[in-house]
Amino acid sequence: MTNRRDFLKLGAASATLALAGGGTLTAAKELPHKGGKDFSPKTGKERAAVPTACWQCVTRCPAIGYVEGGRLVKIGGQPSSIRTEGKMCAKGQGGVNQVYDPDRILYPMKRVGARGEGKWKRITWDQALAEVAGRLKKLRDDGHPEKFMFHYGRMKASSSKLIKSVFLGTYGTKTVGNHTSICEGGKWTAQELTWGKHYDNWDFDNARYVVNFGSNCLEAHTNHTPVAHRLARALVERNLRMVTFDVRLSNTAAKSNEWVPIKSGTDGAVALAMCNVIMSEDLYRGDGEAFMTFCRFTKDPTATLDEKVAVLKAHLSSYTPEWAEKISGVDADKIREVAREFATTKPACVISYRGAVAHYNGNDTERAIQMLAAITGNVDNPGGRCRAVGAKWKYPKGPKNKPKAKKLKILDGFKGDAALPTHHMSHRVLKMIKDGKAGRPEVYMWYCYAPVYANGEVQENIDVLKDESMIPFSVCVNPFYDESAALADLILPDATYLERWDWEDMVSPRQIGEYYVRQPVVKPLGEARDFGDVCCELAERMGMPLGFKTKEEFVRKSCEMTPGIKEAGGFEYMKEHGVWHDPKAKPKFYSYKKKVSAKKLEADGVILDEATGVYWNWHKSKAKSEEEASQKGYTHTKNAYKGYVAQMIGDEVVAGFKPDKVNKSGYMELYSAIMEDKGFAPLPTYVSIPEHEAMKPGELILTTYKVAVQIHSRSQNCKWLTEIYHSNPGWINPATAAARGISDGDAIKVKSPVAEIETRARVTPAVVPGVIAISHHCGHWEYGRYASAKKAPLGTDDDPELKRKWWKDNGVHPNWLIANAPDPINGQLRFMDTVVSVTRV
Amino acid sequence: MNGTAKSILARDPGFPAATRERSNVYGFLASVFREEATADLLDQIEEPEFRSALSGAGVSFGIDFFDRPRQRLLEELAVEYAWLFIGPGDHVAPFASVYLGGAGGALWGPSTVWVRTFIATAGFEYRPEFHGLPDHVGVEFEFMQHMTSRQASAAERSDGVAQADCRRVEEEFVSDHLARWLPEFCRRTMERATLPFYRELAGLAAGFMRSESEFLAATPAAAC
C-alpha cells in the first residue's frame, strides 16, 4: 500500500519540472454573481440600479432597486453591505408590489358620512394641510399641544429624528405613542435592567454553540437577513451546534441540531435550571468567573467573587433540572446536557425572542437568559451575545428654542399595569382613551401603524376609533387603505419607502456600524407625499419653520455633518454607493472593560456615588444642585442615568455597562435594586403565568408566530408574498386533536375570554400538546384585494394580475382573541399567554 | 490568521511545501488525463528523480516501456487514449456526470452544471478556447491543482483565513464530488487499458484520491 508521503514525493520531484502548461482554467477577473447589476430579459439592456434601503420589516436592509422604462421592476440585495453581504429575503424582494398595489391611496381623502362607513371624497393637499395645520395650531395656541397625539408603528432613523425630535419637539407635544410594547419592548426593559442600552446582537460568525429560547430567527427577526444568513452559514460551513427550545417546530427549530419541545411560557424555568447546573458543577470557572467581576449578583455591588458565587448558588439551589422538568416538560437530563455543552463550548451564544419573552413572566425569563450568558462569560465577546453596534449619524436638530413639551398620561397604561414600562404600553392607549380619566386627544394621528389590526382586542380598538365622542378628529398617514385607515376622518397618502429619502442605522452583526441611505427609486405615484416632507410644510403653515424644507435636505445636511460620511464624499457619495462603513473600524467587543481617563472623571458636575461606585454628571439629571444629587444618590435621582460616566470596580474605573432609561449601575446587573425597589425579586426568578395555572381541563394555550415571507401586518397587499402565504390554519398536536374529535382540515372554533374565531385545524406533531398555534399576517378585512379580496375606495383596476389571483382563503387573525394585557414589570403585550377552548364546528 | 492556524504552521514548518507538493501531483494527473500524452509529458516522466518517485508511489510501466522510439510511443499512446477516452465504442467516459447520474448517467447532467458553477464560484473561468465539457477528469484535476496552489501561496504569506477558505473548497469538491466518481473511472480505465501507461497512472490517481480523501477528512478546514 502506497503511503501518503510517497505520493507527495512525486509532487516534490515534479517541482523541478516544467509541467505541461496549456490548461483549461484561469483565475477569473471578477467574481461571478457579485450582484448589483441586472438586465432586462426582453431587451438585454442593463437596468438602472438605484441604491436604497428596504422598509418591509425593521431590519431595513440596504437594497438596490432596478428600474426599467421608469418602472421599478426588481429589488435585490446590496453587495457592498457588511450587514447583509448582498442577501435579500423574499419580503424585501416583494417590496415592488408596495409601489404598484392597485388598492393604494394616491390622493388625500376626507370622510363623508359616518365614521367607518366607507364613504370618501378626494380633496387637495392644500385643503388637507389647511385643516390639519388649523386644528394643530389652535391646540398649540390654546396651550394644549398635548391634545395632539401622534402614534407611530414603524418610524426609525431620520424619519424618527425629523418627525419626532424636530417636528413634534418644535410643536410641543410629547403625547407620542410607539408600538414597541406589542413587539419586543419587554425584552428591551429586561436588557436595560441588566446591561443597559437595549438590543442584543448574536455573533454567529464566531459562535460555536447556540442555545435558542423561542426565536424563529431564520424566518423572522428584527435584524432578519443579516442574522439569518450568518446563522445558516455557520450551521452549514462550520458545523455550529444549535439547540432550540420552542413550543413549535419552527423552521429555525427544524434547522437546529435539536428541537427541544417545551411547554408555553416556561423557558425561564429551563434557563434558571441551566444556571443551576453551571453553578453547582462549577462550570462557571474560567471565562464565566472572569466576567463575574463586572457583574452585580448581590445587594452590595462590591461583593467579592466568592460572595457572588455563594449568593448565586444559594439563589439557584431550588431551580434544579428536576424542578424545571415538572414545569417545562423538558427532561432533566436534557437540561443538564445542554447546560454542560453550553458552558464548556467556547464561545457560545444564548439567544431569545418573543417565544420566550411575550409572556407574563417574560421580563425575568430574559433576565435569566442574560444570567446564563454572564456566568459563562459569553457577553460582548466574539461568538457571544453582544451589545448592539449601529451607525451614529449627526443631523440638524431644528429650532434651538423648543417649547417645554406637554403630554397626556395615556402612554404607560393604568396605574398598577406595569412597574417599569420603559417602552410604554401602546396596546393600552385606546383603553386609556376610552377610560378618559387621564384626558383624551382632540387630534389622533397615526403613521405607519395599524392600531386596529396590530394590537389585541380588535373589536375594542374598532369601537374606540369609531367613537367621535372619544376621538373627535383622526388622521391616518398611510399609503394603503387598511382596517385603521377605514376608521379615520382624513387620510394623508404617504409615499412608499421606495419613493422617499432617509438615512438609516440598523444594528450591524459585524459589530461595526453601517451607514446607509434610502433614496427614491421611483417618483411617488399619484399625489402621494413622504410624511417627512409634509411635516416640513405643516411646520411652515404653523409659523415654526424647521430649518430645512424637505426630508431630502435633512438627509443631505446629515451626510455633510456626519464624520466619515463627510470625508467619503457626503451626500453625493451616499447617493451613488448607498452604504458606507469605516474601513479602519475594528469590531466592538469587550468595550465594558475600557478604562476611563481621569480627565473625564474630573469634568464639571461629575461625582462619585459611593453606594454603587458610579461616576455620574448630576447636571444631566433632574437634580437641582450637587448637594441634592449627593444626598439622593445616583440610584434615586431622576434621570441620573443620563449623566452616567463610568463604573469603579475594585481599583479600576471602567466604561462598564452604560445604563439607559433606568438608574442602574455600570455593572451588568443580575441583581437589580430597581426591581427590588418596585417590589419584585432582585435576582431572576421564575413566576408561573396566572392564566395557565387557572386553566380548566380541556383548555389550550394560544401561541402566535410569523413566517418567512410576510411581515406582521403590512405586507399582505404584496401579491407575490400573499400568493405564497395567505392561509393560516391552527396547528394542533395529534393527541390534542384526537381528544377533541378533530381531524386534519376540520373547521374549528377557537374561543377566548375576549372573542372567538373560526379556522381550520392542521393536525401536526410539529407543535407540543396543549397548544394551538396560529400565525400572524392573515385575516385582513381591508388592505385591498390581495390581502382581503376587498377593493379599497378609489382603488384602480389597472393591474392585470388581479384577474389571476387564484386564492380565496385569506386566513384568520388571532389578535381578535388576545387581551391587551401587560407583563406586570415591563408592560409588554402578552401575546403568548391567551387561554382558549377549541372545538370542532 | 487565527491562533489555531498559527499553531499549525508553527508545528509543521513544511506545511506550505506539502501543499505545493499536492498541487504538483494534481497538476501531473491533469496533464496525463486532459489530452493525449505529449513529448513534454514523457520527458518529465523519464526524468530519473521523477521516475524514482513514480516507482515509490507504486507505478511500474515495465522495464522496456520507454525503450521504443519516442514517436512510435506517442503514436501508440494517442491511439490508446482515443480508444479509452474518446471512442467510438465501449470506451471509459472521462466525465463526472456519466458516473454521478445514476442508471441514466449521461453527458451534461446536473453534476456537470454543479461542477461548472462550483468552479466559477471558486473564482475560475474556463479559457475561451476550451470547448470540452466542464466536468472532464482533466479539468477537475486541474481545478484541484489551482486550489491547492492557491492554498500554498496563502500559507507562504501566512494568511490563515485564505488558507482555510481554500481548504474548505478543496474538501467540499473532493468529498461531494471528485471522490464519488473518480474511483470508478480509474477502475474501468485499469480494466480496459491495453498498455501499462494509463493502467498504471489510473492506479496512481485512484490511490492518490484515497489518500487525499483521508487527509482532507482528518484535518478539517477549521484546523488551518
Buried b (16+ CB within 10 A) or exposed e, B40-52: ebbebbebeebbe
| Chain A contact set for B127 (CB, 8 A) | 23-26
Is A30 an 8 Å CB contact of chain B? Answer: no
Compute the nearest-CA separation of B100 from chain A (Å): 22
The mean pLDDT values, 10 residues at a time, for chain B of 224 residues are 41 69 94 92 89 92 86 94 86 91 70 88 88 93 95 89 90 95 96 94 96 86 48
- Are the beta carbons of B143 and A31 separated by less than 8 Å? no
A273, A295, A672 from A305: Cα distances, Å: 21, 10, 18
pLDDT tens-place string over residues A471-509: 999 999 999 999 999 999 999 999 999 999 999 999 999
> Whole-angstrom Cα distance, residue A669 to residue B129?
67
| Chain B contact set for A234 (CB, 8 A) | none
Q: Are A275 and A319 in contact (CB under 8 A)?
A: yes
> Whole-angstrom Cα distance, residue A457 to residue A831?
11
Does some domain include residue B82? Answer: yes
Compute the nearest-CA separation of B13 from chain A (Å): 16
Q: Which residues are bridge partners to A447 per DSSP?
A: A152, A477
Q: Are A297 and A194 in contact (CB under 8 A)?
A: no
| Chain B contact set for A25 (CB, 8 A) | 119, 124-127, 139, 142-143, 146
pLDDT tens-place string over residues A250-288: 999 999 999 999 999 999 999 999 999 999 999 999 999
Residue A197 Rama label (left phi>0; alpha psi -120 to 50; beta): beta
Q: Are A663 and A636 in contact (CB under 8 A)?
A: yes
| Chain A contact set for B54 (CB, 8 A) | 10
| Chain B contact set for A33 (CB, 8 A) | 121
A117 phi, psi to nearest 5 deg: -75, -25
> Pick from B44, B211, B214: which is nearest to A17 by CB?
B44
pLDDT tens-place string over residues A657-666: 999 999 999 9
In chain A, the residue whose alpha carbon lies closest to the alpha carbon of B121 is: A32
Compute the nearest-CA separation of B83 from chain A (Å): 22
Strands A771-775 and A700-705: parallel
Does some domain include residue B224? Answer: no
Strands A25-27 and B124-126: antiparallel
Whether A146 shows a pLDDT value over 50: the answer reads yes
Q: Where are the alpha helices (DSSP H) in A478-544?
A: 531-541
| Chain A contact set for B17 (CB, 8 A) | 12
- Are the beta carbons of B123 and A29 separated by less than 8 Å? no
> In the Cβ-directed half-sphere of A551, how many Cα atoms lie within 13 Å?
26
Residues in B 10-39 with any Cβ partner in A closer than 8 A: 17-18, 20-25, 27-28, 30-31, 34-35, 38
Strands A490-492 and A473-477: parallel
Sign of CA dihedral B92, B98, B104, B109: negative
Q: Return the number of CB contacts < 8 Å for A and B.
A: 121
CA angle A136, A140, A146 (to 5 degrees): 85
A534, A555, B135 from A160: Cα distances, Å: 14, 12, 55
Q: Alpha carbon A695 to chain centroid distance?
A: 31
> Pick from B23, B50, B58: which is nearest to A2 by CB?
B58
Q: To probe the interface with B, which of A1, A3, A4, A8 has the most B CB atoms within 10 Å? A: A8
| Chain A contact set for B25 (CB, 8 A) | 7-8, 10-11, 14
> Pick from A2, A3, A19: which is nearest to B44 by CB?
A19
Question: Residue B109 contacts by C-beta under 8 Å, 6 or more apart in sequence?
Answer: B97, B98, B100, B101
A367, A568, A608, B21 from A666: Cα distances, Å: 16, 35, 12, 56
Q: To probe the interface with A, which of B26, B35, B50, B133 has the most A CB atoms within 10 Å? A: B50
Mean pLDDT, rounded, of chain A:
96
Whether A311 shows a pLDDT value over 50: the answer reads yes
Q: Which residues are bridge partners to A335 per DSSP?
A: none
Residues in B 138-197 with any Cβ partner in A closer than 8 A: 138-139, 142-143, 146, 168
Map grid coordinates 455633518 to a residue: A561
In chain B, the residue whose alpha carbon lies closest to the alpha carbon of A19 is: B28
pLDDT tens-place string over residues A211-228: 999 999 999 999 999 999
**Which carries the bigger pLDDT value, residue A748 or residue B223?**
A748
Name the DSSP letter for residue A639.
T
Amino acid at A598: A
Every domain range in chain A assigned CATH 3.40.228.10: 185-387
> Whole-angstrom Cα distance, residue A388 to residue A591?
11
pLDDT at position B44, please?
A: 87
SS3 content of chain B, % helix, strand, coil (to 5): 70, 0, 25
- Are the beta carbons of B121 and A238 separated by less than 8 Å? no
For residue A12, name the pLDDT band (cuts at 50, 70, 90): confident
> Whole-angstrom Cα distance, residue A739 to residue A833?
22
Q: To probe the interface with B, which of A2, A4, A7 has the most B CB atoms within 10 Å? A: A7
Question: Residue A329 contacts by C-beta under 8 Å, 6 or more apart in sequence?
Answer: A261, A262, A263, A266, A768
What long-range pairs does A786-790 form, CB within 8 A, spacing at least 24?
A786/A97, A786/A101, A786/A103, A786/A716, A786/A717, A786/A718, A786/A719, A786/A722, A787/A716, A787/A717, A787/A722, A788/A716
- Are the beta carbons of A9 and B28 separated by less than 8 Å? no
Tell me what the mean pLDDT of segment A732-752 comes to. Answer: 98
For chain B, what is the largest distance between any 2 Cα atoms, rounded to a whole number of angstroms?
A: 56
Burial of A119 (0-12, 13-18, 19+ CB in 10 A): exposed
Question: Residue A567 contacts by C-beta under 8 Å, 6 or more apart in sequence?
Answer: none
- Are the beta carbons of A14 and B215 separated by less than 8 Å? no
> Whole-angstrom Cα distance, residue B224 to residue B222?
5
Tell me what the mean pLDDT of segment A605-613 comes to. Answer: 96
CA angle A695, A699, A704 (to 5 degrees): 100
A23, A834, B31, B147, B152 from A27: Cα distances, Å: 12, 60, 18, 10, 16
Is A4 an 8 Å CB contact of chain B? Answer: yes
Give the three-class secondary structure for A494: strand
> Whole-angstrom Cα distance, residue B76 to residue A249?
64
Tell me what the mean pLDDT of segment A132-152 comes to. Answer: 98
Is A11 an 8 Å CB contact of chain B? Answer: yes
- Quick one: angle between helices A267-280 and A305-316, nearest 10? 130
> Whole-angstrom Cα distance, residue A15 to residue B21?
7
Strands (E), A413-481: 443-447, 473-477
* Per-residue cell: A98: 408596495
**Which carries the bigger pLDDT value, residue A238 or residue A467?**
A467
Whether A21 shows a pLDDT value over 70: the answer reads no
For residue A330, name the pLDDT band (cuts at 50, 70, 90): very high
**Which DSSP helix (H) or strand (E) runs through A85?**
none
Omega before A261 within 30 of 0, i.e. cis = no
Map grid coordinates 454607493 to a residue: A577
Give the three-class secondary structure for A64: strand
pLDDT at position B13, please?
A: 40
Q: Which domain holds residue B155?
A: 3-218
Q: Are A766 and A775 in contact (CB under 8 A)?
A: no
Burial of A631 (0-12, 13-18, 19+ CB in 10 A): exposed
Amino acid at A131: E
Name the DSSP letter for residue A729.
P
| Chain A contact set for B224 (CB, 8 A) | none
Whether A583 shows a pLDDT value over 90: the answer reads yes
Architecture of domain A693-840: Beta Barrel (2.40)
pLDDT tens-place string over residues A333-391: 999 999 999 999 999 999 999 999 999 999 999 999 999 999 999 999 999 999 999 99
Every domain range in chain A assigned CATH 2.40.40.20: 693-840
Residues in B 40-59 with any Cβ partner in A closer than 8 A: 40-41, 44, 47, 49-50, 52-54, 56-58
Residues in B 111-130 with any Cβ partner in A closer than 8 A: 119-121, 123-127, 130
CATH of the domain at B42: 1.10.3480.10
- Are the beta carbons of A24 and B222 separated by less than 8 Å? no
Measured between alpha carbons, how far apart are the two ends of chain A, in Å? Answer: 73
> Pick from A3, A8, A20: which is nearest to B18 by CB?
A8
Q: Which residues are bridge partners to A751 per DSSP?
A: A756, A837
Is A23 an 8 Å CB contact of chain B? Answer: yes
- Are the beta carbons of A25 and B143 separated by less than 8 Å? yes
| Chain B contact set for A14 (CB, 8 A) | 24-25, 27-28, 44, 50, 53
Q: Which residues are bridge partners to A498 per DSSP?
A: none
Compute the nearest-CA separation of A210 from chain B (Å): 18
From the list A833, A830, A823, A831, the residue with the least C-alpha distance to A412 is A823
- Are the beta carbons of B25 and A15 separated by less than 8 Å? no
From the list B119, B81, B86, B105, the residue with the least C-alpha distance to B180 is B105
Candidates 3.30.2420.10, 2.170.150.20, 2.60.120.10, 3.40.228.10; CATH matching A185-387: 3.40.228.10
A599 phi, psi to nearest 5 deg: -60, -40
Question: Residue A256 contacts by C-beta under 8 Å, 6 or more apart in sequence?
Answer: A210, A212, A242, A243, A244
| Chain B contact set for A32 (CB, 8 A) | 120-121
- Are the beta carbons of B123 and A28 separated by less than 8 Å? yes
Is B207 an 8 Å CB contact of chain A? Answer: yes
Compute the nearest-CA separation of A720 from chain B (Å): 28
Residues in A 219-278 with any Cβ partner in B closer than 8 A: 237-238
> Pick from A6, A15, A238: which is nearest to B20 by CB?
A15
Name the DSSP letter for residue B86.
I
| Chain A contact set for B40 (CB, 8 A) | 18, 20
pLDDT at position B14, please?
A: 53
Omega before A301 within 30 of 0, i.e. cis = no
Find the Cα–Cα–Cα–Cα dihedral A209, A212, A218, A219, rounded to 10°.
Answer: 180
Q: To probe the interface with B, which of A3, A4, A10, A208 has the most B CB atoms within 10 Å? A: A10
Is B91 an 8 Å CB contact of chain A? Answer: no
Q: Are A826 and A420 in contact (CB under 8 A)?
A: yes
> Whole-angstrom Cα distance, residue A335 to residue A368?
15
Question: Looking at the 3D structure of chain B, how many domains does it have?
Answer: 1
